[in-house]
């Protein structure tokens, strides 16, 4: 099984297809397997790299408090270790936050960037219309964290899916292996939440990014994501914005054909 030893972590990765490199960065709770619905189609045109972020799936990391900056450094190091840079990079949720943060500090490694619904709540914290929604969401996240601290990983995973990310009834609709992956990666979500900067990004730094950027959100997602996307689009003047009709927070899983069409259409335009 291939692993890249970077920044004190062993990152498991897989490669499929040939051509220009396309690196996929998963969100919290999940791992590289979450991209399986879209990898075959993307691999028809690109060299697709999926990997498990530290503390997820088959990847490991040193014990102790972590940070999103470490994930950003891991992504940059992986790009250099595999030598595909500059690469197209696609991130979902916390993976989108990771990709944006990494691009702000290592822009030379990015051929383009696609970010779907990064949960950067801090950048819209001052919006009076979104403030009540953010307080409600933060309360739900806090409840998930309390469950994790109490050792109830399964209950925390259930609450996150049902009350934060995907919506009521979605836990039972997830395949058993996906639910087990959520539970297995629960401790790393707690570690992410302990990072005081998990929901922030340097907008001034990201505004200097010259690589093509696509920011996307779904119409079935929590209502504060469009505000985050708008704020990022204001900062990255050349960024394109895509709205995925009917999709939610993980469109590569729930609407794979639509998501592939959106991503490949963008990449074809910028290439």
Q: Which of 229, 217, 215, 213 is nearest to 255 (CA)?
A: 217
Buried (b) or exposed (e) across 94-129, using 16+ Cβ within 10 A? bbbbbbbbbbbebbebbbbbbbbbbbbbebbeeeee
What whole-number distance in Å separates Cα of residue 244 and Cα of residue 63?
38
Task: Say how many CA atoms lie within 13 Å of 67 toward its Cβ.
Answer: 11
For residue 85, the model assigns a pLDDT of 73
For residue 56, the model assigns a pLDDT of 93
For residue 144, the model assigns a pLDDT of 95
Domains and CATH numbers, the chain: 3-124+202-270 (3.40.50.1820)
Q: How far is CA 156 from the centre of its chain?
A: 19
Burial-class residue 172 by CB neighbours within 10 Å (0-12, 13-18, 19+).
Answer: exposed
pLDDT in tens, the chain (271 residues): 688 888 888 999 999 999 999 999 999 999 999 999 999 999 999 999 999 999 999 998 766 667 899 999 999 999 998 776 799 999 999 999 999 999 999 999 999 999 999 999 999 988 898 888 888 888 999 999 999 999 999 999 999 999 988 889 999 988 899 999 999 999 899 989 999 999 999 999 999 999 999 999 999 998 889 999 999 999 999 999 999 999 999 999 999 999 999 999 999 999 8
What whole-number distance in Å separates Cα of residue 176 and Cα of residue 188?
20
List all residues 6 or more positions away from 75 whose beta carbon is below 8 Å from its beta carbon. Answer: 23, 25, 89, 98, 99, 102
For residue 67, the model assigns a pLDDT of 87
């Amino acid at each position: 099984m291939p692993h890249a030893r970077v920044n004190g972590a062993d990152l498991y990765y897989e490669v499929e297809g040939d051509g220009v490199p396309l690196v996929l960065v998963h969100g919290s709770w999940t791992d590289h397997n979450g991209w399986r619905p879209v990898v075959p189609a993307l691999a028809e045109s690109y060299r697709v790299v999926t990997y498990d972020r530290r503390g997820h799936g088959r990847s490991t990391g040193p014990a102790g408090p972590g940070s999103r900056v470490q994930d950003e450094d891991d992504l940059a190091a992986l790009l250099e270790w595999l030598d595909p840079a500059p690469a197209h990079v696609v991130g979902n949720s916390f993976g989108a936050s990771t990709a944006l943060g990494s691009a702000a500090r290592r822009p030379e490694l990015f051929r383009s960037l696609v970010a779907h619904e990064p949960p950067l709540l801090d950048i819209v914290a001052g919006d009076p219309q979104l403030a009540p929604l953010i307080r409600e969401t933060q309360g739900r996240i806090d409840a998930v964290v309390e469950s994790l601290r109490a050792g109830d990983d399964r209950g925390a995973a259930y609450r996150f899916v049902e009350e934060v990310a995907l919506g009521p009834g979605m836990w039972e609709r997830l395949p058993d292996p996906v639910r087990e992956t959520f539970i297995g990666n629960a401790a790393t979500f707690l570690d992410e939440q302990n990072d005081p900067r998990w929901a922030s990004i340097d907008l001034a730094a990201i505004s200097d990014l010259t690589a093509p950027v696509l920011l996307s959100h779904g119409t079935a997602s929590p209502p504060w994501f469009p505000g985050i996307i708008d704020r990022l689009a204001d900062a990255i003047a050349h960024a394109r914005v895509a709205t995925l009709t009917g999709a939610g927070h993980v469109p590569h899983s729930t609407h794979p054909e639509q998501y592939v069409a959106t991503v490949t259409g963008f990449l074809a335009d910028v290439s």
